[in-house]
Chain A
Amino acid sequence: MLKGHQSWVFNSRPAVLACGTVGGPFEAQGPLAEDFDILHDDMWLGQESFEKAERKMLEEACEKAVEKAGQKGADVNFHLSGDLMNQIISSSFAARTLGIPYLGLFGACSTAMESLALAAQLVDSGAARMALASTSSHNGSAEKQFRYPTEYGAQKPPTAQWTVTGAGAALLGAGEEGPRVTSATIGRVVDMGLSDPFNMGAAMAPAAVDTLKAHARDLEVDLFSYDLIATGDLGRVGHEIAKDLIEEKKLPFPKERFMDCGLLIYDKTQPVHAGASGCACSAVVTFGHLINRMKRGELKKILAVATGALLSPLSYQQKESIPCIAYAVSIEI
Protein backbone atom coordinates (compact mmCIF):
# COMPACT_ATOMS: atom_id res chain seq x y z
CA MET A 1 0.00 0.00 0.00
CA LEU A 2 1.36 3.42 -0.95
CA LYS A 3 2.19 5.71 1.94
CA GLY A 4 3.39 9.21 1.29
CA HIS A 5 5.02 9.78 -2.08
CA GLN A 6 7.50 6.98 -2.63
CA SER A 7 7.04 4.46 0.16
CA TRP A 8 5.11 1.30 0.78
CA VAL A 9 3.61 0.00 4.01
CA PHE A 10 3.15 -3.78 4.05
CA ASN A 11 0.05 -4.32 6.12
CA SER A 12 0.19 -8.09 5.90
CA ARG A 13 3.82 -7.96 7.10
CA PRO A 14 5.36 -10.59 4.80
CA ALA A 15 7.60 -12.94 6.74
CA VAL A 16 11.22 -13.60 5.93
CA LEU A 17 10.69 -17.38 5.77
CA ALA A 18 14.43 -18.05 5.45
CA CYS A 19 17.67 -16.57 4.11
CA GLY A 20 20.68 -18.05 2.36
CA THR A 21 24.11 -16.42 2.49
CA VAL A 22 27.29 -17.50 0.70
CA GLY A 23 30.79 -16.04 1.00
CA GLY A 24 34.31 -16.46 -0.34
CA PRO A 25 37.70 -16.98 1.34
CA PHE A 26 38.18 -13.32 2.17
CA GLU A 27 34.80 -13.09 3.83
CA ALA A 28 35.59 -16.27 5.77
CA GLN A 29 38.43 -14.37 7.44
CA GLY A 30 36.12 -11.59 8.58
CA PRO A 31 34.26 -11.13 11.86
CA LEU A 32 30.90 -12.26 10.44
CA ALA A 33 32.07 -15.68 9.23
CA GLU A 34 29.69 -17.46 11.63
CA ASP A 35 26.68 -15.83 9.96
CA PHE A 36 27.29 -17.38 6.54
CA ASP A 37 25.46 -20.55 5.49
CA ILE A 38 28.17 -21.54 3.04
CA LEU A 39 31.77 -20.34 2.91
CA HIS A 40 34.12 -21.24 0.08
CA ASP A 41 37.89 -21.40 0.46
CA ASP A 42 38.43 -20.97 -3.27
CA MET A 43 37.27 -17.84 -5.05
CA TRP A 44 36.85 -19.86 -8.25
CA LEU A 45 34.46 -22.37 -6.65
CA GLY A 46 36.18 -24.86 -8.95
CA GLN A 47 34.72 -23.05 -11.96
CA GLU A 48 36.51 -21.86 -15.10
CA SER A 49 35.87 -18.16 -14.66
CA PHE A 50 34.98 -15.58 -12.02
CA GLU A 51 31.64 -15.04 -13.73
CA LYS A 52 30.74 -18.73 -13.52
CA ALA A 53 31.78 -18.76 -9.84
CA GLU A 54 29.52 -15.79 -9.11
CA ARG A 55 26.47 -17.41 -10.63
CA LYS A 56 27.17 -20.62 -8.73
CA MET A 57 27.21 -18.69 -5.46
CA LEU A 58 23.92 -17.04 -6.35
CA GLU A 59 22.36 -20.42 -7.12
CA GLU A 60 23.64 -21.77 -3.81
CA ALA A 61 22.24 -18.83 -1.83
CA CYS A 62 18.82 -19.16 -3.45
CA GLU A 63 18.65 -22.92 -3.05
CA LYS A 64 19.75 -22.61 0.58
CA ALA A 65 17.05 -20.07 1.38
CA VAL A 66 14.35 -22.24 -0.16
CA GLU A 67 15.71 -25.35 1.60
CA LYS A 68 15.92 -23.67 5.02
CA ALA A 69 12.32 -22.53 4.66
CA GLY A 70 11.27 -26.11 4.09
CA GLN A 71 9.85 -25.15 0.71
CA LYS A 72 10.30 -26.38 -2.84
CA GLY A 73 11.61 -24.15 -5.63
CA ALA A 74 8.63 -25.14 -7.75
CA ASP A 75 6.31 -23.50 -5.21
CA VAL A 76 8.04 -20.12 -5.30
CA ASN A 77 6.09 -17.77 -7.57
CA PHE A 78 8.73 -15.18 -8.45
CA HIS A 79 12.49 -14.77 -8.34
CA LEU A 80 13.76 -11.18 -8.27
CA SER A 81 17.48 -10.77 -8.70
CA GLY A 82 20.24 -8.52 -9.97
CA ASP A 83 24.03 -8.14 -9.91
CA LEU A 84 26.90 -6.06 -11.25
CA MET A 85 27.64 -7.99 -14.43
CA ASN A 86 26.84 -6.63 -17.86
CA GLN A 87 23.30 -7.68 -18.75
CA ILE A 88 23.06 -9.12 -15.17
CA ILE A 89 24.21 -12.51 -16.47
CA SER A 90 24.84 -13.91 -13.00
CA SER A 91 21.17 -13.51 -12.14
CA SER A 92 19.83 -14.61 -15.52
CA PHE A 93 21.93 -17.76 -15.60
CA ALA A 94 21.15 -18.60 -11.96
CA ALA A 95 17.47 -18.07 -12.76
CA ARG A 96 17.86 -20.51 -15.62
CA THR A 97 19.02 -23.14 -13.13
CA LEU A 98 16.36 -22.33 -10.55
CA GLY A 99 13.53 -22.28 -13.06
CA ILE A 100 11.39 -19.86 -11.02
CA PRO A 101 9.56 -17.09 -12.98
CA TYR A 102 12.20 -14.38 -13.04
CA LEU A 103 12.36 -10.60 -12.81
CA GLY A 104 15.83 -9.18 -13.50
CA LEU A 105 16.79 -5.96 -11.73
CA PHE A 106 19.70 -3.57 -11.81
CA GLY A 107 20.42 -1.44 -8.77
CA ALA A 108 24.15 -2.02 -8.57
CA CYS A 109 25.05 -2.41 -4.90
CA SER A 110 21.52 -1.48 -3.78
CA THR A 111 19.95 -4.51 -5.47
CA ALA A 112 19.53 -6.46 -2.21
CA MET A 113 16.99 -3.99 -0.82
CA GLU A 114 15.50 -3.18 -4.22
CA SER A 115 14.69 -6.87 -4.69
CA LEU A 116 13.51 -7.27 -1.08
CA ALA A 117 11.18 -4.25 -1.36
CA LEU A 118 9.66 -5.50 -4.60
CA ALA A 119 9.33 -9.08 -3.30
CA ALA A 120 7.55 -7.78 -0.19
CA GLN A 121 5.21 -5.71 -2.34
CA LEU A 122 4.33 -8.74 -4.48
CA VAL A 123 3.55 -10.84 -1.41
CA ASP A 124 1.73 -8.09 0.49
CA SER A 125 -0.49 -7.14 -2.44
CA GLY A 126 -1.45 -10.74 -3.05
CA ALA A 127 0.43 -10.86 -6.33
CA ALA A 128 2.60 -13.69 -5.02
CA ARG A 129 2.36 -16.37 -2.37
CA MET A 130 6.15 -16.66 -2.10
CA ALA A 131 8.82 -14.44 -3.66
CA LEU A 132 12.58 -14.90 -3.60
CA ALA A 133 14.85 -11.83 -3.52
CA SER A 134 18.54 -12.34 -4.25
CA THR A 135 21.77 -10.72 -5.41
CA SER A 136 25.46 -11.52 -5.78
CA SER A 137 28.86 -10.02 -6.48
CA HIS A 138 32.40 -11.31 -7.01
CA ASN A 139 35.60 -9.38 -6.48
CA GLY A 140 37.32 -10.82 -9.55
CA SER A 141 34.45 -10.30 -11.98
CA ALA A 142 33.72 -6.80 -10.70
CA GLU A 143 37.33 -5.64 -10.89
CA LYS A 144 37.67 -7.12 -14.37
CA GLN A 145 34.59 -5.33 -15.64
CA PHE A 146 34.72 -2.00 -13.85
CA ARG A 147 38.37 -1.39 -13.13
CA TYR A 148 41.51 -3.36 -13.99
CA PRO A 149 42.56 -7.01 -14.31
CA THR A 150 43.11 -8.45 -10.86
CA GLU A 151 46.86 -8.90 -11.34
CA TYR A 152 47.36 -5.38 -12.66
CA GLY A 153 49.69 -3.25 -10.59
CA ALA A 154 47.75 -0.04 -9.98
CA GLN A 155 47.91 1.60 -6.60
CA LYS A 156 44.45 1.90 -5.05
CA PRO A 157 43.76 5.12 -3.14
CA PRO A 158 42.50 5.10 0.47
CA THR A 159 38.97 5.80 -0.75
CA ALA A 160 38.78 2.60 -2.80
CA GLN A 161 36.54 -0.25 -1.62
CA TRP A 162 36.74 -4.01 -1.87
CA THR A 163 33.95 -5.84 -3.69
CA VAL A 164 32.52 -8.66 -1.59
CA THR A 165 32.62 -12.13 -3.11
CA GLY A 166 29.31 -13.62 -2.08
CA ALA A 167 25.57 -13.95 -2.57
CA GLY A 168 22.48 -13.47 -0.43
CA ALA A 169 18.89 -14.54 -0.86
CA ALA A 170 15.71 -14.07 1.18
CA LEU A 171 12.44 -15.96 0.70
CA LEU A 172 9.32 -13.99 1.58
CA GLY A 173 5.84 -15.35 2.14
CA ALA A 174 2.94 -15.57 4.58
CA GLY A 175 4.11 -16.74 7.99
CA GLU A 176 3.53 -16.36 11.68
CA GLU A 177 7.02 -16.39 13.10
CA GLY A 178 10.30 -14.71 12.50
CA PRO A 179 11.31 -11.36 11.07
CA ARG A 180 8.75 -9.50 8.93
CA VAL A 181 9.24 -6.88 6.24
CA THR A 182 7.05 -3.96 7.30
CA SER A 183 7.78 -1.06 4.94
CA ALA A 184 10.02 0.12 2.14
CA THR A 185 11.03 3.43 0.56
CA ILE A 186 11.99 3.54 -3.10
CA GLY A 187 14.85 5.95 -3.74
CA ARG A 188 15.33 8.56 -6.45
CA VAL A 189 18.50 8.74 -8.52
CA VAL A 190 20.74 11.38 -6.95
CA ASP A 191 23.83 12.73 -8.70
CA MET A 192 26.04 15.29 -7.01
CA GLY A 193 28.47 15.53 -9.91
CA LEU A 194 31.16 13.28 -8.44
CA SER A 195 32.99 11.17 -10.98
CA ASP A 196 35.78 9.24 -9.25
CA PRO A 197 35.02 5.51 -9.50
CA PHE A 198 37.61 4.93 -6.77
CA ASN A 199 35.57 6.98 -4.31
CA MET A 200 32.04 5.70 -4.60
CA GLY A 201 31.20 6.19 -0.95
CA ALA A 202 31.20 9.96 -1.43
CA ALA A 203 29.04 9.62 -4.54
CA MET A 204 26.45 7.41 -2.81
CA ALA A 205 26.08 9.20 0.53
CA PRO A 206 23.63 11.86 -0.77
CA ALA A 207 21.36 9.16 -2.19
CA ALA A 208 21.28 7.36 1.17
CA VAL A 209 20.39 10.55 3.02
CA ASP A 210 17.76 11.46 0.42
CA THR A 211 16.05 8.11 0.91
CA LEU A 212 16.29 8.33 4.70
CA LYS A 213 14.60 11.72 4.61
CA ALA A 214 11.89 10.41 2.30
CA HIS A 215 11.36 7.38 4.56
CA ALA A 216 10.93 9.50 7.68
CA ARG A 217 8.62 11.92 5.86
CA ASP A 218 6.43 9.37 4.02
CA LEU A 219 5.97 6.89 6.82
CA GLU A 220 5.80 9.60 9.49
CA VAL A 221 8.12 7.42 11.51
CA ASP A 222 10.58 8.53 14.14
CA LEU A 223 13.98 7.21 13.06
CA PHE A 224 14.82 6.81 16.75
CA SER A 225 12.33 3.93 16.86
CA TYR A 226 14.81 1.78 14.93
CA ASP A 227 17.28 -0.28 16.94
CA LEU A 228 19.70 -0.13 14.03
CA ILE A 229 19.97 1.76 10.75
CA ALA A 230 22.51 0.22 8.39
CA THR A 231 23.60 1.59 5.03
CA GLY A 232 24.79 -0.90 2.44
CA ASP A 233 28.31 0.03 1.44
CA LEU A 234 29.12 3.66 2.01
CA GLY A 235 32.42 2.67 3.57
CA ARG A 236 34.48 4.77 5.90
CA VAL A 237 34.39 7.89 3.73
CA GLY A 238 30.75 7.77 2.63
CA HIS A 239 29.50 6.93 6.09
CA GLU A 240 31.15 9.99 7.62
CA ILE A 241 29.80 12.17 4.82
CA ALA A 242 26.30 10.76 5.37
CA LYS A 243 26.50 11.74 9.03
CA ASP A 244 27.57 15.25 7.99
CA LEU A 245 24.66 15.54 5.56
CA ILE A 246 22.12 14.26 8.09
CA GLU A 247 23.31 16.89 10.53
CA GLU A 248 23.29 19.60 7.88
CA LYS A 249 19.71 18.74 6.90
CA LYS A 250 18.71 18.74 10.59
CA LEU A 251 17.16 15.29 10.34
CA PRO A 252 16.51 13.83 13.81
CA PHE A 253 18.68 10.74 13.72
CA PRO A 254 20.06 8.10 16.13
CA LYS A 255 23.73 8.49 15.22
CA GLU A 256 24.96 5.89 17.72
CA ARG A 257 22.82 3.22 16.06
CA PHE A 258 23.93 4.10 12.54
CA MET A 259 26.17 1.51 10.91
CA ASP A 260 27.39 0.48 7.49
CA CYS A 261 27.45 -3.09 6.20
CA GLY A 262 30.66 -2.32 4.35
CA LEU A 263 32.38 -1.63 7.66
CA LEU A 264 30.95 -4.66 9.47
CA ILE A 265 31.90 -7.46 7.13
CA TYR A 266 35.70 -7.17 7.27
CA ASP A 267 37.93 -6.52 10.22
CA LYS A 268 40.61 -3.87 10.54
CA THR A 269 43.47 -6.19 9.63
CA GLN A 270 42.05 -6.97 6.21
CA PRO A 271 43.40 -4.66 3.46
CA VAL A 272 40.16 -3.19 2.18
CA HIS A 273 40.96 0.55 2.22
CA ALA A 274 37.65 2.33 2.84
CA GLY A 275 35.56 -0.80 3.36
CA ALA A 276 33.53 -3.37 1.46
CA SER A 277 31.22 -2.82 -1.49
CA GLY A 278 29.31 -4.90 -4.02
CA CYS A 279 25.74 -6.14 -4.21
CA ALA A 280 26.55 -8.99 -1.87
CA CYS A 281 27.75 -6.62 0.86
CA SER A 282 24.36 -5.41 2.04
CA ALA A 283 22.81 -8.77 1.17
CA VAL A 284 25.01 -11.07 3.24
CA VAL A 285 25.25 -8.69 6.19
CA THR A 286 21.48 -8.01 6.32
CA PHE A 287 20.24 -11.50 5.41
CA GLY A 288 22.89 -13.20 7.56
CA HIS A 289 24.26 -11.22 10.47
CA LEU A 290 21.44 -8.73 11.09
CA ILE A 291 18.60 -11.25 10.66
CA ASN A 292 20.44 -13.61 13.04
CA ARG A 293 20.76 -10.82 15.59
CA MET A 294 17.02 -10.22 15.30
CA LYS A 295 16.26 -13.90 15.79
CA ARG A 296 18.44 -13.89 18.90
CA GLY A 297 16.38 -11.01 20.25
CA GLU A 298 19.18 -8.45 20.10
CA LEU A 299 17.35 -6.23 17.59
CA LYS A 300 13.63 -5.71 17.20
CA LYS A 301 13.33 -3.17 14.40
CA ILE A 302 15.95 -2.34 11.80
CA LEU A 303 16.18 -0.22 8.68
CA ALA A 304 18.45 -1.48 5.92
CA VAL A 305 19.39 1.23 3.42
CA ALA A 306 21.28 -0.31 0.51
CA THR A 307 23.11 2.15 -1.74
CA GLY A 308 24.15 1.73 -5.36
CA ALA A 309 26.38 3.61 -7.81
CA LEU A 310 24.75 3.43 -11.23
CA LEU A 311 27.79 3.99 -13.42
CA SER A 312 29.29 1.83 -16.15
CA PRO A 313 32.92 1.65 -17.32
CA LEU A 314 31.78 3.41 -20.49
CA SER A 315 30.00 6.26 -18.72
CA TYR A 316 33.16 6.94 -16.76
CA GLN A 317 35.28 7.04 -19.91
CA GLN A 318 32.79 9.43 -21.44
CA LYS A 319 33.43 11.77 -18.51
CA GLU A 320 30.02 11.31 -16.94
CA SER A 321 29.49 11.67 -13.21
CA ILE A 322 28.13 8.88 -11.00
CA PRO A 323 24.35 8.79 -10.38
CA CYS A 324 23.42 6.89 -7.24
CA ILE A 325 20.34 5.46 -5.58
CA ALA A 326 19.32 4.00 -2.22
CA TYR A 327 16.46 1.73 -1.17
CA ALA A 328 15.31 1.47 2.45
CA VAL A 329 13.51 -1.56 3.86
CA SER A 330 12.35 -1.94 7.44
CA ILE A 331 12.37 -5.36 9.07
CA GLU A 332 10.76 -6.07 12.44
CA ILE A 333 10.41 -9.09 14.66
Chain B
Amino acid sequence: MSSKKNKYLSPEQQKYQLIAQAREPQRPVLLNSIRAFVVGGLICVLGQFFQFIYTTYFNFTEVSASNPTVSSLVILAVLMTGLGLYDHLAQYAGGGTIVPVTGFANTMASSAIEHRSEGFVLGVGGNMFKIAGPVITYGVFSAFVVAIIRFIILELGGM
Protein backbone atom coordinates (compact mmCIF):
# COMPACT_ATOMS: atom_id res chain seq x y z
CA MET B 1 0.00 0.00 0.00
CA SER B 2 1.44 3.36 -0.91
CA SER B 3 -0.03 6.81 -0.91
CA LYS B 4 0.99 9.86 -2.86
CA LYS B 5 2.72 11.31 0.17
CA ASN B 6 4.82 8.16 0.52
CA LYS B 7 5.73 8.09 -3.16
CA TYR B 8 9.43 8.34 -2.52
CA LEU B 9 9.58 6.03 0.47
CA SER B 10 10.52 2.38 0.13
CA PRO B 11 8.12 -0.25 1.49
CA GLU B 12 10.48 -0.79 4.41
CA GLN B 13 10.41 2.91 5.24
CA GLN B 14 6.64 3.02 4.99
CA LYS B 15 6.37 -0.01 7.27
CA TYR B 16 8.68 1.64 9.80
CA GLN B 17 6.68 4.84 9.78
CA LEU B 18 3.60 2.87 10.77
CA ILE B 19 5.50 1.39 13.72
CA ALA B 20 6.75 4.84 14.71
CA GLN B 21 3.29 6.35 14.46
CA ALA B 22 1.86 3.62 16.66
CA ARG B 23 4.39 4.44 19.36
CA GLU B 24 3.98 8.20 19.17
CA PRO B 25 2.30 9.55 22.28
CA GLN B 26 -0.95 11.18 21.29
CA ARG B 27 -1.13 14.92 21.73
CA PRO B 28 -3.77 15.76 24.32
CA VAL B 29 -5.90 17.55 21.73
CA LEU B 30 -8.94 18.09 23.93
CA LEU B 31 -6.91 19.40 26.86
CA ASN B 32 -4.83 21.63 24.59
CA SER B 33 -8.00 22.95 22.94
CA ILE B 34 -9.63 23.85 26.24
CA ARG B 35 -6.48 25.57 27.48
CA ALA B 36 -6.05 27.48 24.21
CA PHE B 37 -9.67 28.58 24.27
CA VAL B 38 -9.58 29.77 27.87
CA VAL B 39 -6.21 31.54 27.82
CA GLY B 40 -6.84 33.04 24.38
CA GLY B 41 -10.24 34.21 25.49
CA LEU B 42 -8.81 35.77 28.62
CA ILE B 43 -6.16 37.65 26.67
CA CYS B 44 -8.93 39.04 24.46
CA VAL B 45 -10.92 39.98 27.57
CA LEU B 46 -7.83 41.85 28.77
CA GLY B 47 -7.76 43.60 25.41
CA GLN B 48 -11.43 44.49 25.77
CA PHE B 49 -10.66 45.86 29.23
CA PHE B 50 -7.87 48.05 27.89
CA GLN B 51 -10.23 49.25 25.17
CA PHE B 52 -12.83 50.13 27.79
CA ILE B 53 -10.27 52.09 29.81
CA TYR B 54 -9.04 54.00 26.78
CA THR B 55 -12.50 54.90 25.50
CA THR B 56 -13.87 55.84 28.92
CA TYR B 57 -11.01 57.65 30.64
CA PHE B 58 -9.03 58.87 27.66
CA ASN B 59 -10.19 60.64 24.51
CA PHE B 60 -10.28 57.61 22.22
CA THR B 61 -13.18 56.47 20.09
CA GLU B 62 -14.16 52.85 19.67
CA VAL B 63 -12.11 52.69 16.48
CA SER B 64 -9.07 54.70 17.47
CA ALA B 65 -8.80 52.91 20.83
CA SER B 66 -7.44 49.86 19.06
CA ASN B 67 -4.07 51.56 18.71
CA PRO B 68 -3.29 52.01 22.42
CA THR B 69 -5.00 48.69 23.16
CA VAL B 70 -2.73 46.75 20.83
CA SER B 71 0.28 48.70 22.03
CA SER B 72 -0.55 47.92 25.66
CA LEU B 73 -0.86 44.22 24.93
CA VAL B 74 2.41 44.33 22.99
CA ILE B 75 4.25 45.98 25.89
CA LEU B 76 2.83 43.43 28.30
CA ALA B 77 3.89 40.52 26.07
CA VAL B 78 7.40 41.92 25.59
CA LEU B 79 7.76 42.35 29.35
CA MET B 80 6.61 38.81 30.03
CA THR B 81 8.99 37.51 27.36
CA GLY B 82 11.90 39.40 28.88
CA LEU B 83 11.08 38.10 32.34
CA GLY B 84 11.10 34.54 31.03
CA LEU B 85 7.42 33.96 31.75
CA TYR B 86 5.82 33.94 28.32
CA ASP B 87 7.33 30.65 27.15
CA HIS B 88 6.03 28.84 30.23
CA LEU B 89 2.53 30.22 29.68
CA ALA B 90 2.80 29.25 26.03
CA GLN B 91 3.73 25.64 26.78
CA TYR B 92 0.50 25.48 28.77
CA ALA B 93 -1.75 27.46 26.44
CA GLY B 94 -0.40 26.75 22.94
CA GLY B 95 -2.66 28.53 20.49
CA GLY B 96 -4.03 30.71 23.28
CA THR B 97 -0.75 32.62 23.41
CA ILE B 98 0.40 32.23 19.80
CA VAL B 99 -2.75 33.51 18.06
CA PRO B 100 -3.32 36.84 19.86
CA VAL B 101 -1.19 39.81 18.89
CA THR B 102 0.80 39.09 22.08
CA GLY B 103 2.22 36.08 20.24
CA PHE B 104 3.48 38.37 17.51
CA ALA B 105 5.16 40.58 20.08
CA ASN B 106 6.69 37.51 21.70
CA THR B 107 8.25 36.35 18.43
CA MET B 108 10.00 39.67 18.00
CA ALA B 109 11.03 40.12 21.61
CA SER B 110 12.35 36.57 22.00
CA SER B 111 14.41 36.81 18.79
CA ALA B 112 15.79 40.21 19.74
CA ILE B 113 16.74 39.10 23.25
CA GLU B 114 18.25 35.81 22.08
CA HIS B 115 20.51 37.26 19.43
CA ARG B 116 21.96 40.06 21.52
CA SER B 117 25.11 37.98 21.82
CA GLU B 118 25.74 38.63 18.15
CA GLY B 119 25.73 42.38 18.61
CA PHE B 120 23.01 44.99 18.28
CA VAL B 121 23.20 45.61 14.55
CA LEU B 122 23.58 42.14 13.05
CA GLY B 123 22.30 40.20 16.04
CA VAL B 124 19.32 42.12 17.37
CA GLY B 125 18.62 44.12 14.22
CA GLY B 126 19.24 41.28 11.81
CA ASN B 127 17.21 38.66 13.67
CA MET B 128 14.31 40.74 14.98
CA PHE B 129 11.95 39.54 12.25
CA LYS B 130 13.24 35.99 12.04
CA ILE B 131 10.05 34.36 13.28
CA ALA B 132 7.68 37.30 12.75
CA GLY B 133 8.73 37.65 9.12
CA PRO B 134 6.25 35.15 7.65
CA VAL B 135 3.28 36.87 9.32
CA ILE B 136 4.23 40.29 8.01
CA THR B 137 5.18 39.02 4.56
CA TYR B 138 2.04 37.01 4.01
CA GLY B 139 -0.19 39.55 5.72
CA VAL B 140 1.01 42.32 3.42
CA PHE B 141 1.04 40.17 0.32
CA SER B 142 -2.43 38.75 0.85
CA ALA B 143 -3.77 42.23 1.67
CA PHE B 144 -2.24 43.45 -1.58
CA VAL B 145 -3.81 40.64 -3.61
CA VAL B 146 -7.20 41.08 -1.95
CA ALA B 147 -7.14 44.86 -2.43
CA ILE B 148 -6.12 44.55 -6.09
CA ILE B 149 -8.82 42.00 -6.82
CA ARG B 150 -11.40 44.16 -5.10
CA PHE B 151 -10.19 47.23 -6.96
CA ILE B 152 -10.42 45.46 -10.31
CA ILE B 153 -13.87 44.06 -9.57
CA LEU B 154 -15.20 47.44 -8.51
CA GLU B 155 -13.63 49.22 -11.48
CA LEU B 156 -15.08 46.66 -13.86
CA GLY B 157 -18.40 46.85 -12.02
CA GLY B 158 -18.38 50.63 -12.32
CA MET B 159 -17.81 50.47 -16.07
Binding site for B on A (CB under 8 A): 48-51, 144, 148-159, 191-194, 199, 202, 205-206, 236-237, 240-241, 244-245, 248, 271, 274
Contact = CB atoms under 8 A, between A and B. Distances in A.
Nearest to B109: A151
Contact of B17 (A153, A155, A194): A194
Contact of A150 (B8, B107, B110): B110
B9 interface: yes
Contact of A149 (B12, B26, B90, B110): B110
Contact of B98 (A150, A154, A205, A240): A154
Given A149-B113, A154-B98, A193 B13 contact: yes
Contacts of B86: 151, 153
B98 to A, nearest CB: 6
Interface of B: 6, 8-9, 12-14, 16-17, 19-20, 23-28, 32, 81-82, 84, 86-87, 89-91, 93-95, 97-98, 103, 106-107, 109-111, 113-115, 117, 131
A55 to B, nearest CB: 13
Contacts, number: 100
| Main SS class of interface, A | loop
Contacts of A154: 90, 98
Nearest to A206: B16
Given A202-B23, A236-B25, A241-B20, 19 more contacts: A49-B117, A144-B115, A149-B115, A150-B110, A151-B86, A151-B114, A152-B106, A153-B86, A153-B97, A153-B106, A154-B98, A155-B93, A155-B95, A192-B16, A193-B13, A194-B20, A206-B16, A237-B25, A274-B25
B23 A144 contact: no
A128 to B, nearest CB: 36
A274 B103 CA distance: 26
B88 to A, nearest CB: 9
A196 to B, nearest CB: 9
Nearest to B112: A149
B100 to A, nearest CB: 11
A155 B110 contact: no
A274 B25 CA distance: 9
